[in-house]
Amino acid sequence: MASPVSVYNSNAMDTRISSTSRDSLKMELLADVSLLPGEDRITDKDIIYICPFNGAVKGKVLITNYRLYFKSSEADVVVILDVPLGAISRVEKMGGASSRGENSYGLDITCKDMRNLRFALKQEGHSRRDIFELLFRYAFPLSHSLPLFPYVTQEKFEESGWTVFTPIEELRRQGLPTNKWRFTLVNKNYELCDTYPTLLAVPYECRDEDLKRVATFRSRGRIPVLSWIHRENQAVIVRCSQPLVGMSGKRNKDDERYLDLIREANDTVKLTIFDARPSVNAVANKATGGGYEGDEYQNAELVFLDIQNIHVMRESLKKLKDIVYPNVEESHWLSSLESTHWLEHVKMVLSGAIQVADKVSNGNSVLVHCSDGWDRTAQLTSLSMLMLDSHYRTLRGFQVLIEKEWISFGHKFASRIGHGDKNHADQDRSPIFVQFIDCVWQMTKQFPTAFEFNERLLLTILDHLYSCRFGTFLYNCESARDQNEVRMKTVSLWALVNSKRESYLNPFYTPESGRVLYPVASMRHLELWVAYYIRWNPRIRQQQSPVEQRYLELLALRDEYLKKLEELQRSDSSPSSRLANSSSSSATSPSTPSQQYTHLQTPL
């Protein structure tokens, strides 16, 4: 990143170094880097950063076991880079010892967070060998049998983020169990399904043995289980993986019966099965043993939602990166943007979620799956739950939503992100979670008062999705997390978030329950999330929302007036009773809001 620009940027990484005064430049360049507890310096070196916006900048780079830090040594150009090693997807040597041209010899670093970094070194004495090897080693610790940084860090927070979500509490909050839905621990030892959590909510009448038989017919044993239940009409969102129909068109009576039980639970006439895939893909999956529910499922209707797979999404975001980094495609911006199809994919995900939410709010139970039920399914269920349940729109609730629908239900974060893994071309990598956060952002744009959290939270989540500072997004599923004792040995991202709660709050949040949000899923109303995708471009000034900006100004104005008022009253040598009155009244009745706001000032 070239220099922190916006409020958001500068806070994106919480440990950003703020002191950039000229004096400090004269001292040891890297002396003032504040490291995390447990973070160790590995090496530092004089280097040239080839800034795509400013040209070559001389400076020093510091590599720790957590970050790559660069600071320019030139007095007139202050460039600071602070990149968690986790964000690095690829490190390559650029040029050779004999290559010509200025700054043609060095390192080329590709990051997962929409930017690339280039460093140049002197072409003498294998100057880059050490740094390349160290960087490679610490950026990809798993490939070098090193522990991930979350296991090394000594960071402590007052609140342990791991208590934010407990499955049983969340299900109870939804009003479960009921006489139609029960809890089961059949997966206690991850025997039924190794990518599911241990506690599952299933139809009351379904015995555990039935579940086991259903599991044989669902890909990877990911049986339909309850994600969310509507308090009033008892309609449910159930998630699972594709049925193992195969070429021969196999059937499974238990599965059919199971789906019917789900339907009957609230007397839904027809259970709607949302298959997130395009129908072509669903058909193609039959060849590999998968498929979709056929006519044998009476009382069910199948709807394909036409959302593309992880590979399409990965390529789409790659195209988007190409047009925004390092330089924004100028001449045909809108058609270039269109040709990435990124917004269109966002639209498809959103409109799928809208359909799910609409069904459920009208009292119809739905079943959502894709192929394995951990990518598109997670997007759809979590987004529709966000639309349906205002609890998930609070700061805490959103954490629960991510913990529940993404982490505990086995979105393969490790594979999709590739934490600490050098295999940058891994076909399993895909920005599915980024896309989900984008959808959430679109919703916050369209309903600016409906969410308790602000854009900064979303940016923070995405930063730490890659950073490897917290254990939250490590590993593919709960069983792996248990095995690696993530909750024992690492810190949760939510510990950080909840320790600085105020900075993630939306001042315009208007609590409102029982409302269903239906965003407009139309290209006419979707926007590119400039503050995330183009944030490294210093030419893009981060646009604060007008309302927020206005709010801040009003706060400033209020403080100014308060100060003036105070001064006036103090300077007035003969305080009249009238003045005393007015000051006291300002402190009492009308200031209820003021007290409410004071704590909001700091973050914004």
Active site residues: 370
* DSSP, res 403: I
In this chain, which of 159, 597, 601, 603 binds other proteins, going by CB under 8 A? 597
Among 130, 191, 322, 512, binds other proteins (CB under 8 A): 512
Min. distance of Cβ 30 from other proteins in angstroms? 16
Q: Least distance from C-beta 523 to other proteins, angstroms? A: 4
Residue 349 in the binding site for other proteins (CB under 8 A): no
Quick check: 587 binds other proteins (CB under 8 A)?
no
Looking at the DSSP assignment, which residues form a beta bridge with residue 240?
Answer: 369
Among 147, 550, 587, 598, binds other proteins (CB under 8 A): 550
Determine if 286 is a binding residue for other proteins (CB under 8 A): no
Burial (Cβ within 10 Å: 0-12, 13-18, ≥19) of residue 35: middle
534 is a contact residue toward other proteins (CB under 8 A): yes
Q: Which two tokens stand for residue 180?
A: 């139609």
The answer to the question of residue 315 lying near other proteins (CB under 8 A) is: no
Q: Taking Cα atoms as reference points, which of 300, 219, 230 lies closest to residue 259? A: 300
- Between the alpha carbon of residue 337 and those of residues 115, 316, 430, 590, the distances in Å are 17, 10, 19, 49
From candidates 301, 338, 426, 502, binder to other proteins by CB under 8 A:
338
**Minimum distance from residue 327 beta carbon to other proteins (Å):** 9
| Residue (288 or 543) nearer to other proteins, CB | 543
The alpha carbon dihedral of 102, 107, 111, 117 has a sign of negative
H and E: helices and strands count for the chain? 22, 14
Give the whole-angstrom CA distance, residue 292 versus residue 279. 9
Q: Closest distance between other proteins and the C-beta of residue 112, in Å?
A: 21
Q: What gap in Å lies between CA 357 and CA 237, rounded to an integer?
A: 9
Contact region with other proteins (CB under 8 A), list: 144-152, 248-256, 375-383, 573-581: 573-581
Stretch that binds other proteins, among 156-164, 303-311, 340-348, 461-469 (CB under 8 A): 340-348
Which secondary-structure segment (H or E) carries 269?
A: none
Least separation in angstroms between residue 335's CB and other proteins is 4
Size of the site for other proteins (CB under 8 A): 98
Where does this chain touch other proteins (CB under 8 A) — which range of 174-182, 215-223, 256-264, 521-529?
Answer: 521-529
**Binding segment toward other proteins, per CB under 8 A, in 164-172, 265-273, 276-284, 538-546:** 538-546
30 binds other proteins (CB under 8 A): no
Burial class for 322, CB neighbours closer than 10 Å (0-12, 13-18, 19+): exposed
343 binding other proteins? (CB under 8 A): yes
Among the residue ranges 99-107, 243-251, 411-419, 439-447, the one whose residues contact other proteins (CB under 8 A): 439-447
Measured from the CB of residue 343, what is the shortest distance to other proteins in angstroms?
Answer: 8
Amino acid present at 12: A
What DSSP string describes 271-297? EEEEE-S-HHHHHHHGGGT-----TTS
Q: Which is nearer to other proteins, 154 or 571 (CB)?
A: 571
Contact 260, 309 (CB under 8 A): no
Nearest distance from C-beta of residue 133 to other proteins, angstroms: 31
Question: In what order do the strands lie in the sheet containing 116-120?
Answer: 80-84, 67-72, 55-64, 41-51, 116-120, 106-111, 88-94
The binder of other proteins chosen from 68, 200, 305, 337 (CB under 8 A) = 337
The only residue of 14, 108, 329, 482 in contact with other proteins, by rule CB under 8 A? 329
Is 244 within 8 Å of 277 (Cβ atoms)?
A: no
Closest contact distance (angstroms) between CB of 85 and other proteins is 23
515 binds other proteins (CB under 8 A): yes
- What part of residues 362-421 is at the interface with other proteins (CB under 8 A)? 362
In the numeric block, which tokens belong to residue 233?
């009409």
Considering the rule CB under 8 A, would residue 154 count as an interface residue with other proteins? no
Pair 213, 234: CB distance under 8 Å: no
* Cβ-based nearer residue to other proteins, 253 or 525: 525
520 binds other proteins (CB under 8 A): yes
Q: Which amino acid is at 498?
A: N
**Residue 547 found at the interface with other proteins (CB under 8 A):** yes
Q: Which of 104, 198, 446, 484 binds other proteins (CB under 8 A)?
A: 446
Given the complex with other proteins, which of 23 and 124 has the nearer CB atom?
A: 23
Q: Answer yes or no whether residue 344 interacts with other proteins by CB under 8 A.
A: yes
The DSSP H or E segment spanning 230 is none
Our finding on whether 22 is near other proteins (CB under 8 A) is yes
Position 569 contacts other proteins (CB under 8 A)? yes
Give 63's strand partners.
Answer: 43, 68
Compute the C-alpha angle 494/495/497, nearest 5°: 60
Instruction: Kindly state whether residue 2 participates in binding other proteins, applying the rule CB under 8 A.
Output: yes
Number of CB atoms found within 10 A of residue 173's CB? 12
Residue 234 lies near other proteins (rule: CB under 8 A): no
The answer to the question of residue 301 lying near other proteins (CB under 8 A) is no
Distance CA(35)–CA(16), nearest Å, equals 10
CB of 568 to other proteins, least distance (A): 5
**57-86 footprint of other proteins as x/- string (CB under 8 A):** ------------------xxxxxx------
Interface region with other proteins, contact rule CB under 8 A, candidates 178-186, 367-375, 427-435, 576-584: 576-584
Task: Kindly state whether residue 130 participates in binding other proteins, applying the rule CB under 8 A.
Answer: no
- b (16+ CB within 10 A) / e for 264-292: ebbebeebbbbbbbbeebbeebbeeebbb
What three-state secondary structure class fits 90?
Answer: strand
Residue 554 in contact with other proteins, rule: CB under 8 A: yes
Among 278, 326, 507, 603, binds other proteins (CB under 8 A): 507
Residues in the chain: 604
With CA atoms as reference, report the closest residue to 49 among 112, 97, 94, 96.
94
| Segment near other proteins (CB under 8 A); pick from 103-111, 256-264, 299-307, 438-446 | 438-446
The single residue among 334, 425, 577, 602 that binds other proteins, judged by CB under 8 A, is 334
Q: State the DSSP H helix or E strand holding residue 377, giving kind and residue range, or none if neither.
A: helix 376-388
